Amino acid sequence: MTVPQPHAVPLQPSAVSRESSGAPQPQLSAVSQPQPQPQSPAVSQPQSSVVSAQPSVGVSEVPREAGWSDPVWQRAARGWIAEQLARTGRRITGEVEPRVRPWSLVWRVPTGSGPVWFKANSIGTRYEAGLVDALSRLDPDAVLTPLAVRPDRGWLLLPDGGETLRESTERDRPAGEPAQSATDEPAESGAQPAAAGAAPQSVTGEPAGPNGGRAGGHGLGRWEAALTRYAVLQRESGRQVDELVALGVPDHRPQVLPQLFADLLEDRAALLLDSPGGPTAEAYQRLRGYRPEFARVCERLAGIGPPATVQHDDLHDANVFATVDGYRFFDWGDASVGHPFGSLLVTLRSAAYRFGLSAGDPALGRLRDAYLEIWSDRYDRRTLLKAAGLAVTTAKVGRALSWRRALRTDDPARGEYADAVPGWLAELFEPEPL
Count of CB atoms situated within 10 Å of the CB of 400: 26
7 with 236: CB under 8 angstroms? Answer: yes
- CATH number, span 60-160: 3.30.200.20
pLDDT tens-digit series, residues 200-238: 333 333 333 333 333 334 578 999 999 999 999 999 999
pLDDT score at 254:
99
Helices (H) and strands (E) in the chain, counts: 13, 10
Report domain 165-173+188-429's class: alpha beta
Parse the chain into domains and list their residue ranges. 60-160, 165-173+188-429
The CA distance from 152 to 46, in Å, is: 30
Burial of 27-37, coded b for 16+ CB within 10 Å and e otherwise, reads: eeeebeeeeee
pLDDT score at 11:
46
pLDDT tens-digit series, residues 147-162: 999 999 999 999 999 9
434 with 348: CB under 8 angstroms? Answer: yes
pLDDT score at 390:
98
108 forms bridges with which residues in the sheet? 97, 117
pLDDT tens-digit series, residues 379-396: 999 999 999 999 999 999
Q: For a pLDDT cut of 90, what percent of the chain falls above it?
A: 70
115 or 195, which is more confident? 115
pLDDT tens-digit series, residues 74-128: 999 999 999 999 999 999 999 999 999 999 999 999 999 999 999 999 999 999 9
Grade residue 434 by pLDDT with cuts at 50, 70 and 90: confident
The CA distance from 290 to 140, in Å, is: 41
Q: Tell me the helix, strand and coil percentages in the chain, rounded to 5.
A: 45, 10, 45
